[in-house]
Amino acid sequence: MNKRPEKNEYNYFYETYVSLVPETEILPELESQIDQTRTLLVGVSEEKSLYRYAADKWSIRQVIGHLIDGERVFAFRAFTFSRADTVKLFSFDENQYVSEAGLNQIPLADLCAEFVALRTANVLMFKHLSAAAWSRAGIASDNRVTVLALAYIMVGHVRHHSKILQERYFSN
């Protein structure tokens, strides 16, 4: 797929993420984040992975867990809509998901491996979509979104949180 989604293909809330992806070829960006995420986390000790830059903020492990949750939810939406399923899909409460996941008890290496496995599977799913599937849309969180927009949201979501990790967690 070599085009960016139009603004009418996703809710304005997701502009934060889509705007971080100026590229017109999304598959290489999805794939490149596998190694980028590994590289980002390679030197983080288990002790450091529990760091929060403020008392009310997530730990590094929780941020990675949130990326995993987002990866699952956005990919399920893309998969569902790519198959022309017209079911309305749920929203998810990111804070509840993080608080219920017990992420600070999971080794960072396992969280990294989980993200890599999910993204690898999702890249393969996106690679095999027909042109028609990329333009299909559905309703998620009470808003229309296309499969193409979801791929951009996935890349932008990881870029957004990677930037936060670099600026607020790893800069000290």
Q: Between β-strands 143-146 and 137-140, what pairing exists: parallel, antiparallel or unpaired? A: antiparallel
User: How sure is the predictor about 2, in pLDDT bands with cuts at 50, 70 and 90?
Assistant: confident
Tell whether 119 is covered by a domain. yes
In a domain, 13, yes or no: no
Let me know if residue 21 belongs to a domain: no
Band the pLDDT of 171: cuts 50, 70, 90. confident
Query: Using 50, 70 and 90 to split pLDDT, how confident is the model at 143?
Result: very high
What's the structural domain count of the chain? 1
**pLDDT above 70 (res 112):** yes
Structural domain includes residue 75: yes
Q: How confident is the model at residue 108 (pLDDT cuts 50, 70, 90)?
A: very high
Q: How distant, in Å, are the alpha carbons of 15, 53, 164 from that of 168? A: 22, 6, 6
Give the mean pLDDT of 35-42: 96
- 159 assigned to some structural domain: yes
Q: Which residue carries 């690679």 as its tokens?
A: 127
| Structure confidence at residue 139 (pLDDT) | 97
Please say if the pLDDT value at position 172 is more than 90. Answer: no
Query: Is position 140 within any domain?
Result: yes
Domain extent for 37: 26-169
CATH code for the domain in which residue 107 is found: 1.20.120.450
Calculate mean pLDDT across residues 31-43: 96
Please give the span between the terminal C-alpha atoms of the chain, in angstroms, as a whole number.
Answer: 39
Q: Whole-structure pTM over 0.85, yes or no?
A: yes
User: Which candidate, 162, 153, 7, places its Cα nearest to that of 76?
Assistant: 153
Instruction: Give the mean pLDDT of 22-44.
Output: 96
* Average pLDDT, integer, range 125-131: 97
For the chain, the C-alpha Rg in angstroms (whole number) is 16
> Is pLDDT of 141 > 80?
yes
